[in-house]
Amino acid sequence: MIGIDELMHKYWNTSFRSIPLSLKNPKSFPDPTKLFEQADGNIPPHFFRGEKTLQRYSCTDKMVKDTLLMDLSATIIIWHVATDICYLPLSTTTTDERVITCKVISDYMMYLVATKPSMVSEEDNFWFDSLSRKLRKELQQSTISLKDEATVYQQFFSEISSEEDESAPSKVILKHAMRIEEVLREMAEKWDIMMSVWLEMMHYAAMRCPHLSHLQALSQGSEILSMYWLLASYNIYENSNIED
């Protein structure tokens, strides 16, 4: 059972950000009916969490593709770290809507992993708990401010890079995140790919999340993920009625 200390760590540093205009437009999100057209055969679109994006942009790197085969919480953490690696050098200067949108979705999905794991994890939040314990231990011995993301990441990378156990969760996450950044760095459509993967992952998470978790979220003021689930479910239902 989670203790009060763990709860404090989860919620104490919660912050709020405005939703970009691009995300307020329903057309920004994947149309579930079109996702069906992009799927292979009769496989529903919510079986994909970024695979169709990588296929569309001819990204064939095995290590990048492998990140989409892990538990969803691990996939989110890895792509969150990769997004931050790409975003931090631009954080104070960018006005690119794609970059800002990627950062907001990335932070939001990571927020779900940290505070509402039942919506996005099938493994009792093993990946997040393992990573947060290690990071918290390192930060307790440091004077770095948590608001200084660049420095936190720098120390995070330094500590994990020296980790000898290649199977350690923190090592696996960092290794895969850095590989994503390395591969996307060479692609002109880097932010288009990143945003498309996040949108596809949101669709996957929304449609695979247990209905009870959605209902609990809606009863507590709702989550963006649950609102999207309602929208996507309605669109799929309407489309099936038209076809009938």
Q: Is residue 96 part of a domain?
A: yes
Distance, CA of 12 to CA of 193 (rounded, Å) = 33
Sign of CA dihedral 81, 86, 87, 89: positive
Nearest to 139 by CA among 1, 13, 4, 15: 13
In our burial notation (b when 16+ CB lie closer than 10 A, e otherwise), range 147-178 reads eeeeebeebbeebbeebeeeeebbbbbbebbb
Q: Which range among 35-39, 88-92, 124-128 shows the weakest confidence by mean pLDDT?
A: 35-39
Distance from chain centroid for Cα 142: 27
Query: Model's pTM, two decimal places?
Result: 0.78
- Residue 19 located in a structural domain: no
| Domain presence at residue 194 | yes
Q: Is residue 97 part of a domain?
A: yes
Count of the separate structural domains present in the chain: 1
Q: Sorting pLDDT into bands at 50, 70 and 90, what band is 176?
A: very high
Which band of pLDDT confidence, cut at 50, 70 and 90, is reported for residue 5? low
Structure confidence at residue 23 (pLDDT): 60
- 22 neighbors 97 (Cβ within 8 angstroms): yes
Tokens of 186: 């060479």
In a domain, 190, yes or no: yes
Dihedral angle, C-alpha 31, 34, 38, 39, nearest 10 °: 80
Domain that holds residue 92: 33-243
Question: Residue 4, class by beta-carbon neighbours within 10 Å (0-12 exposed, 13-18 middle, 19+ buried)?
Answer: exposed
Q: How far, in Å, CA of 197 to CA of 174, rounded?
A: 18
pLDDT tens per residue, range 178-211: 999 999 998 999 999 999 999 899 989 988 888 8
DSSP E strand stretches across 78-165:
none
Q: Residue 217 has which token pair?
A: 């979220």
pLDDT of residue 194: 95
In this prediction, residue 4 has a pLDDT band, given cuts at 50, 70 and 90, of very low
In-domain check, residue 17? no
